[in-house]
Structure 1
Amino acid sequence: MADELLHETRSDVLWLTLNRPEVHNALNAAMTDALTHAIRAASGDRGLRAIVITAAGDRSFCSGADLKESAGGMFLSRDGTNPIADVMRAIESCDKPVIARINGRVLAGGLGLVAACDLAYAADHAEFGLPEVRVGLFPAMVAAKLLAKIPLAALQEMAYLGQPVSAAEAKRLGLVNRTASPAELDGLIEDVLTKLRQNAPGAIATGKAALLAMRDMSSHQRLIFAESTIATISGSDEAREGRQAFAEKRPPRWANGS
């Protein structure tokens, strides 16, 4: 049987491909464990600038938890945590930008993966849905991430009615950054990666952690935290190199070689 998750390092980017197209890339224990391990291993790897998560085939990015997994195992806690929630935590705690390349329909827990990613780009034929109520469930874990991404009214309609929305609507709601035709999707991803490479990796890592930390703070707390964060970043080797490069009118040379 083919590997549940394919790994490929392309230059300085780790590509992770969900590889169960025969079941719409549904998440089972093997796939979630592999995803969590791969993302955690990539975090801290100075040779990598980003992670791209995509899927095999062109019909589905991910249909969520595999409902055929024994005894509802994808919905039970293991050692106090849920396997899909573990993937979301790994994405959020990773010090690299994690990018969703969405090549088809996204449902249920698959939408949770997209919501956890830092950036998301979708083929314009993709659809996004929360059909859990149709099988007696509710997208509680997915909602935990979507509440910070899309308006509450839109989340309620998706969760209560179980009807999918188009890629264009997902972009309007803020769930994805941009859409493209299937033929142009890879070009869009490469353009994003090219732009990321021009920027300071340490600043991005610190900024990603700061955005996550500030999300649950009051306005007053955010400003205090931001003052401390910018003071730390401004004293870094990257910031010194950036200022020097600006003065010398040349591209900055980051520590990872980009």
Structure 2
Amino acid sequence: MGFSPSLLDGKKILITGAGKGIGRACALMASECGAQVIAVARTESDLKGMQECCTGSVEYWVGDVTRDELCNRIHNLDSLDGLINNAGLNRVAPMIEQTDENIDAVIQLNIRSAYKIAQAAISPMLRAQSGSIVNMSSQMGFVGSPGRTLYCMSKHAIEGLTKAMAVELGVSNIRVNTVAPTFIKTPMTEPMLDDPEFRKMVMSNIPLNHLGTVDDVANACIFLLSSLSNTTTGSCVKVDGGWTAH
């Protein structure tokens, strides 16, 4: 880790989807930087495993980002300094084959719950008189891709939401940005990347010619949560190896 272990001292940071992959890496790194982390996921065993690896302060909440109970719990926090709005899913299929269930699932988790979690976080951030929200986007929030109409739709929506939030909340000293990774090897993407043809397609679109890691994404998130990005809002940090530069 290249950051100071006191970079986030005294800051309370909530991270959704924190049991695995990118969310887990963000929780561990935020804790190593001195934050009081609230890690949220649906699976307690994942959260316990993450907590056992952590050297800093991590409290975990077993909760579903699509449920009002979690939003109410966030809303009622005394204060909150940062949010990494990370929970999400993908349903890959040609558009003509996408089912209503897939459409509803992606909209519910990737758009509606992201909106509701961010909305809930505003109140404790106002009580703290400042805050930083990082909405997890994707390179697919800037480009299109076959079989990914639902995911692209949802991440383009996150980019638009983030800009609007940044404009609206700036007067309250709340910053809002996105991080947009390329394909990162996580439990969600690993089966896809194991397909040689798919991996070849991915690598042909990354000028740096290597996949990113979960820590690469976490580094960008920590930067945006910290005072290092004090005047950065309504922006995106692309961790995409140059994919969207084509």
Report the TM range for the smaller structure's normalisation: 0.3 to 0.5
Give the structure, 1 or 2, with the largest relative contact order (CA under 8 Å, sep 6 or more): 2
TM-score normalised to structure 1 length: 0.32
